[in-house]
């Protein structure tokens, strides 16, 4: 006890080893779904599934372990929303390879580290109006929930004849169909067992989460998968534990470092440089808001961070406070995670579960980190989980993320208009960065024509101009 107390200052925060360890386990079981869901999202880009699982576990273990330096009970892992942006916007939407997307994440980590060290990160955060911070966080939640509905197979799209373009050879396996606004979404007909199972999985997860069952998301995924085995929806005959684990490490070896070696190709085409820079910015901005929202949202009410730390974030110098050190740890985690082959590593809001269980120090974080390392040996079993079993996690996490909408004064139109566009356009246009851009543009537009130009921070004005320039460049190429 004395050794742990000396390292983690347990008595100072009125806690003990037992409470901290239980809190760490609680945080892990609450967020361990990311091992499955991150693989389901990132592997669609072509990154080997086994490599993604290991990269997720390692990035979470290393990132969470670094929180020990700040002596705070927060856990890190590849961020939901950020992995969706990586896959569906950067790779599928913009056409970058997964290696180039990892390179952007690596650069994002370097930038976030530099911005944090120079205190510029704090000033950037201070320049973004709170109404847009709330809207961006909620918008990512809506976007994730929409992806979950699609992954569950619950949506169908009808396209009018003659209003689509086929790109490819005509083979359904290799042809992409591009449609215009005539595509109309609708709910599917529940005439197949996987669709019925998807609905039941959503219902189970909702019930567990609504009743605040610890690890409810993970429990639902496991139960759904186990039920699917006797129904013939999961094939376990080819599972080889040892071989699977060995294959995963082999795959990880082929992915490790790709984020660095792919950097030159990002800037090989001058016409795409602005797009690359804008995308890196979108990664950074989302990463920053994820972290700050989690720290501020949970730290103030629980006492993990003092009122003085939070209120004077822009004025603090160096890395003397726990909040400053936590921001530094978060900025380092992204680049480290990209080296192993995963999207941005960020601080998880699920850390609140461990804090609610009494976690107050880095011992909670250390416990969670060890759990992620141990989970590596179960990696091959993760591959058995069907997509419709993980899709409910996206929907439920999306629900949890829209809570900031309650902080917006909707009767105040000059706030409601930019907030609405920032929160909804992400899902409508299937792009987080587009939603952010449109929110910024409408915020500045409303302020300008209401004669409140002085309320627009100079940094926000510059960022908005960059977004507008990005739209122009995309239209010209």
Query: What's residue 125's pLDDT?
Result: 65
Quick one: pLDDT band at residue 287, thresholds 50, 70, 90? confident
Does one domain contain both 67 and 141?
A: yes
Give the confidence band of 77 by pLDDT, cuts at 50, 70, 90: very high
What phi, psi does 302 have (nearest 5°)? -100, -15
Tens digits of per-residue pLDDT, 311-344? 666 666 767 778 888 888 888 898 899 999 999 9
Q: Are 125 and 296 in contact (CB under 8 A)?
A: no
Distance of CA 196 to the CA centre of its chain: 28
Residues 199 and 280 in one domain: yes
CA dihedral over 119, 131, 41, 283, signed as positive or negative: negative
Tokens found for residue 319:
């890395």
Cβ within 8 Å of residue 353, ≥6 positions away? 26, 27, 30, 31, 214
Residues 400, 297 share a domain: yes
pLDDT digits (tens, 9 = 90+) for 367-420: 999 999 988 887 666 667 787 887 887 788 778 778 878 889 999 999 999 999
Average of per-residue pLDDT values in the chain: 83
Give the range of the structural domain holding residue 27, as residue numbers without chain letter. Answer: 2-153+188-476
Number of structural domains in the chain: 2
Residues 176 and 202 both lie in one domain: no
What is 1-56 written as a DSSP string?
-HHHHHHH-TGGGT--HHHHHHHHHHHHHHHTHHHHHHHHHHGGGT--HHHHHHHH
Residues 65 and 36 in one domain: yes
Q: Note the pLDDT tens digit of each residue in 237-273.
A: 655 544 467 888 889 999 999 999 999 998 888 878 8
Tell whether 166 and 275 lie within a shared domain.
Answer: no
Both 126 and 253 in a single domain? yes
Task: Kindly state whether residues 13 and 80 are assigned to the same domain.
Answer: yes
Terminal C-alpha separation, the chain: 63
Residues 464 and 354 in one domain: yes
Whether 377 and 390 share a structural domain:
yes
């Amino acid at each position: 006890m004395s050794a742990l107390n000396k390292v983690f200052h347990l008595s100072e925060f009125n806690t003990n080893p037992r409470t901290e360890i239980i809190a760490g386990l609680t945080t892990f079981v609450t967020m361990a779904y990311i091992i499955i869901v991150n693989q389901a999202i990132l592997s669609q880009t072509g990154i080997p599934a086994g490599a993604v699982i290991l990269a997720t576990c390692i990035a979470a273990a290393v990132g969470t372990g670094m929180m020990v330096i700040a002596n705070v009970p927060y856990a890190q892992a590849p961020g939901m929303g950020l992995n969706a942006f990586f896959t569906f916007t950067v790779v599928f939407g913009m056409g970058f390879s997964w290696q180039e997307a990892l390179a952007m994440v690596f650069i994002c980590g370097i930038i976030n580290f530099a911005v944090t060290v120079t205190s510029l990160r704090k000033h950037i955060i201070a320049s973004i109006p709170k109404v847009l911070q709330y809207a961006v966080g909620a918008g990512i939640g809506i976007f994730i929930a929409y992806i979950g509905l699609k992954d569950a197979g619950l949506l169908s799209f009808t396209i009018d004849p003659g209003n689509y373009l086929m790109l490819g050879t005509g083979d359904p396996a290799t042809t992409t169909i591009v449609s215009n606004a005539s595509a109309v979404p609708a709910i599917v007909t529940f005439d197949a067992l996987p669709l019925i199972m998807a609905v039941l999985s959503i219902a189970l997860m909702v019930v567990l989460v609504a009743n605040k069952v610890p690890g409810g998301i993970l429990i639902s995924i496991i139960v759904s998968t186990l039920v699917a085995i006797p129904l013939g929806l999961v094939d376990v005959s080819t599972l080889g534990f040892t071989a699977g684990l060995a294959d995963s490490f082999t795959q990880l070896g082929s992915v490790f470092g790709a984020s660095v070696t792919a950097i030159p190709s990002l800037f090989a085409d001058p016409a795409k440089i602005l797009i690359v820079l804008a995308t890196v910015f979108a990664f950074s901005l989302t990463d920053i808001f994820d972290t700050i929202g989690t720290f501020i949202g949970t730290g103030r009410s629980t006492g993990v961070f003092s009122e003085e730390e939070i209120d004077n974030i822009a004025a603090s110098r160096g890395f003397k406070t726990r909040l400053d050190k936590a921001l530094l740890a978060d900025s380092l985690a992204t680049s480290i995670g990209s080296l192993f082959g995963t999207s941005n590593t960020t601080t998880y809001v699920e850390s609140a579960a461990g804090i609610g269980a009494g976690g107050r120090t880095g011992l909670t974080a250390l416990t969670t980190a060890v759990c992620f390392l141990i989970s590596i040996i179960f990696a091959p079993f993760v591959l058995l989980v069907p997509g419709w079993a993980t899709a409910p996690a996206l929907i439920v996490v999306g629900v949890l993320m829209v809570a900031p909408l309650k902080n917006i004064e909707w009767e105040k139109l000059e706030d409601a208009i930019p907030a609405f566009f920032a929160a909804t356009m992400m899902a409508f246009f299937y792009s987080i960065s587009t939603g952010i851009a449109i929110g910024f543009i409408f915020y500045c537009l409303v302020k300008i024509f209401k004669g409140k130009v002085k309320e627009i921070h100079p940094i926000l004005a510059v960022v908005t101009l960059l977004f507008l320039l990005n739209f122009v460049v995309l239209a010209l190429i």
